[in-house]
């Protein structure tokens, strides 16, 4: 995506440019794109310092909504210990937040905890228009995919249409989705690239 500007002008790249890819890949900036477009999304806070986290959790009741702290962009080196915050042990919570070592170079997000099961969607856009779509059960092994239909298929397709139109997208992306307290599927993150679940569209008359 970041190399497309170096290519000849007559070459059309069917993928997002570097700036859009980075915006979609970062969990916080992706979440803010959804907010700006008026689309459903989980409550998400940005964490680039310990102070960001302390401000975010200030006044949030222990018995209320829970949040998970995770890297804003995939980081295989990130610590995997997980706590659903806030917790009553304020000392443990503070030490946990400190141990993330969040910074502008290594940002984290604090995202509303959602309910399983997890689903995925794959979408193709051309100049803001959704031209291809699939909705499927998530598969941890990335080897088995099952198409899903019904009201959530329609809901997630409309979400993708809204995102594509709001950002005038041309390219391909995958969303990971889980249920919020209202029973709606909302996206927890975006992978701005093709997904192996495209195999479920094999043989479609409009797919090359």
pLDDT (tens digit per residue) in 108-147 = 999 999 999 999 999 999 999 999 999 998 876 666 777 8
What value does the mean pLDDT take over residues 145-174?
93
Mode of pairing for the β-strands spanning 67-71 and 129-137: unpaired
Measured distance CA(24)–CA(11) in Å, rounded: 23
Per-residue pLDDT at 4 exceeds 80: no
* Secondary structure (3-state) at 196: helix
pLDDT for 58 equals: 96
pLDDT one-digit tens code per residue, 63-122: 999 999 999 998 877 767 889 999 999 999 999 999 999 999 999 999 999 999 999 999
| Ranges of H-type helices in 49-183 | 50-57, 90-99, 151-167
Per-residue pLDDT at 2 exceeds 80: no
Q: What is the distance of C-alpha 167 from the center of its chain? A: 15
**Number of neighbours of residue 84 by Cβ within 10 angstroms:** 11
pLDDT for 80 equals: 74
pLDDT interval class at 208 (50, 70, 90): low
Q: Which residues contact 32 (CB under 8 A, 6 or more apart)?
A: none
pTM score, whole prediction = 0.89
């Amino acid at each position: 995506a970041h190399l497309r500007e170096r290519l000849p002008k007559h070459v059309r790249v069917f993928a997002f440019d570097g700036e859009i890819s980075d915006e979609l890949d970062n969990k916080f900036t992706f979440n803010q794109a959804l907010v700006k477009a008026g689309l459903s999304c989980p409550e998400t806070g940005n964490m680039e310092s310990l102070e960001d986290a302390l401000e975010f959790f200030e006044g949030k009741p222990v018995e209320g909504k829970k949040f998970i702290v995770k890297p804003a962009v995939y980081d295989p080196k990130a610590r995997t210990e997980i706590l659903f915050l806030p917790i009553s042990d304020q000392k443990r919570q503070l030490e946990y937040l400190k141990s993330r070592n969040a910074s502008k170079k290594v940002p984290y997000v604090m995202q509303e905890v959602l309910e399983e099961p997890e689903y995925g969607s794959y979408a193709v856009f051309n100049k803001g228009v959704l031209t291809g779509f699939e909705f499927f059960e998530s598969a941890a092994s990335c080897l088995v995919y099952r198409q899903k239909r019904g009201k959530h298929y329609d809901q997630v397709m409309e979400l993708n249409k809204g995102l594509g139109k709001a950002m005038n997208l041309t390219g391909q992306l995958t969303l990971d989705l889980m249920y919020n307290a209202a029973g709606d599927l909302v996206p927890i993150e975006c992978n701005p690239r093709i997904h192996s679940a495209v195999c479920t569209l094999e043989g479609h008359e409009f797919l090359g």
